[in-house]
Amino acid sequence: MNAPLNHPLMMLDPDVLRSFVAIAETGSFTAAAARIYRTPSAVSMQIKRLEEQLGVSVFLRDARNVSLTHDGEVLLGYARRLIALNREAISRFVTSDVSGVVRIGSPSDYGEAVLPSVLKLFAKSHPSVVVDVVIDQSTSLLKRFASGHIDIALISCMRDQTPDPGEVLMTDDIVWAGAKGGQAYLMDPLPVSMWDEGCVWRDSALAALEKVGRSYRVAFMTSHSAGQRSAILADLAIAPMGRSFLGSDIQVLDEDCGLPAPGKYHLLLKVAADPSPQVMALSDHFRARFQHFSETGVFEAP
Higher pLDDT, 77 or 62: 77
pLDDT of residue 5: 52
Q: Which domains are seen in the chain, by residue range?
A: 14-82 (1.10.10.10), 99-165+269-296 (3.40.190.10), 172-265 (3.40.190.10)
Task: State pLDDT tens for residues 80-112.
Answer: 888 888 877 776 666 556 778 999 999 888 888
Phi-psi region of 112 (alpha: psi -120 to 50; beta: other; left: phi over 0): alpha
pLDDT of residue 95: 54
Higher pLDDT, 163 or 1: 163
pLDDT band for 56, please (50, 70, 90 cuts). very high
Provide the terminal-to-terminal Cα distance of the chain, rounded to the nearest Å. 37
pLDDT of residue 157: 82
Nearest to 167 by CA among 175, 157, 177, 176: 157
Whether residue 225 contacts residue 112, with contact meaning beta carbons closer than 8 Å, is answered with yes
What are the angstrom distances between the C-alpha of 269 and each of 41, 88, 186? 27, 18, 38
User: What totals of helices (H) and strands (E) does the chain contain, helices first?
Assistant: 10, 11
Q: 3-class SS at 257?
A: helix
Question: DSSP of 153-207, one letter per residue?
Answer: EEEEEETT---SS-EEEEEEEEEEEEETT--GGGSSSEEEEEPPTT-HHHHHHHH
- What's the whole-number mean pLDDT along residues 145-169? 81
**Separation CA 4–CA 10 (nearest Å):** 13
pLDDT of residue 161: 60
Nearest to 110 by CA among 299, 302, 281: 299
Whether residue 246 contacts residue 254, with contact meaning beta carbons closer than 8 Å, is answered with no
Task: Indicate if the alpha-carbon torsion angle 274, 278, 280, 286 is positive or negative.
Answer: negative
pLDDT band for 1, please (50, 70, 90 cuts). very low
pLDDT band for 143, please (50, 70, 90 cuts). very high
Higher pLDDT, 294 or 244: 244
Nearest to 84 by CA among 27, 133, 17: 17
Task: Indicate if the alpha-carbon torsion angle 106, 110, 116, 117 is positive or negative.
Answer: negative
**Separation CA 98–CA 87 (nearest Å):** 13
Mean pLDDT of the chain: 84
**Separation CA 89–CA 14 (nearest Å):** 13
Task: State pLDDT tens for residues 250-270.
Answer: 999 988 888 998 888 888 999
pLDDT of residue 94: 61
Task: State pLDDT tens for residues 159-204.
Answer: 666 555 678 888 888 999 999 999 999 999 999 988 766 677 888 8
* 3-state secondary structure labels for all residues of 14-82: HHHHHHHHHHHHHCCHHHHHHHHCCCHHHHHHHHHHHHHHHCCCCEEECCCCEEECHHHHHHHHHHHHH
Higher pLDDT, 158 or 208: 208
Task: State pLDDT tens for residues 3-54.
Answer: 555 556 688 898 899 999 989 988 888 888 877 778 888 899 999 999 999 9
pTM summary value: 0.66
Task: State pLDDT tens for residues 114-134.
Answer: 888 889 888 877 888 999 999
Task: Give the rounded percent of residues in the chain with a pLDDT score beyond 70.
Answer: 87
Nearest to 236 by CA among 248, 251, 223, 219: 219
pLDDT of residue 6: 55
